[in-house]
Amino acid sequence: MGELRITVDHAVRIDAVDARVHITVKAQSSLAATAAATKVAEVRALVESLVAMGVVEDSIDVTGVRISTGQGKILASQEVRITLEIPATRDQLPGVLGLLAARHGLTVDQVEWTYDQFEASIPVTAEAMRMARRKADAVAAAAGLRVVGITTASDTWSLPTPRAEMASFAADTRMRAGAAPLDMGLTMSSSTTLSVRLTVDFTVAAADAD
């Protein structure tokens, strides 16, 4: 009996399962406290509209709030920026972007695609094991041996998680009256490469051994 170690690298393209839309809501007012109060109300209304589209309210994150109040010679001024992350499935994404595009004073900063690494790795690792076994059979046969079992096996995987670094687009006031889905004529999705490395220690024996 002996051992034969085989390492296989296998990579496939996988599709994103959903996305997170990063947005900034901002406003400036010459009346102290007006900007913040107005934008908080608008964010609340935006969340209600998103929930009506099927977005889960608890999954919408407020990632930052910045309020700057200055005192001028005559009036106090206030500037507010609120950043949020909005989850969306691939089916929801056109509608979510359309809704955001119809809002004044809002900028879509980027779309972050997310992937189910674990579920995607299962069939990829299984295929890597079949590749490893074929290679082990060939190497063992060339050495006058045969594979009779497996001692150990381990795998690792890596997955870059790209963000769609979009040129920020601000809502156009001419679009505020409607919130039609942002239809580009293409499916909004993304894919990336999932790489799996599988190392298997096969047990080998003489080809004529029982």
Q: At 126, is the pLDDT very low, low, confident or very high (cuts 50, 70, 90)?
A: very high
**Using one digit for the tens of pLDDT, what is the confidence trace for 170-180?**
444 334 434 56
CA–CA gap between residue 162 and residue 114 (Å, rounded): 8
Instruction: Tell me the three state secondary structure of residue 154.
Output: strand
Mean pLDDT over the full length of the chain: 84
What average pLDDT does this structure show over 156-180? 56
Domains annotated on the chain, with CATH: 1-17+116-162+182-210 (3.30.110), 18-114 (3.30.70.360)
Considering only CA atoms, which of 102, 93, 114 is closest in space to residue 163? 114
**Using one digit for the tens of pLDDT, what is the confidence trace for 21-49?**
999 998 776 655 566 777 788 899 999 99
Q: At 74, is the pLDDT very low, low, confident or very high (cuts 50, 70, 90)?
A: very low
Maximum C-alpha span of the chain: 99
Instruction: Tell me the three state secondary structure of residue 77.
Output: strand
Strand partners, 10: 196
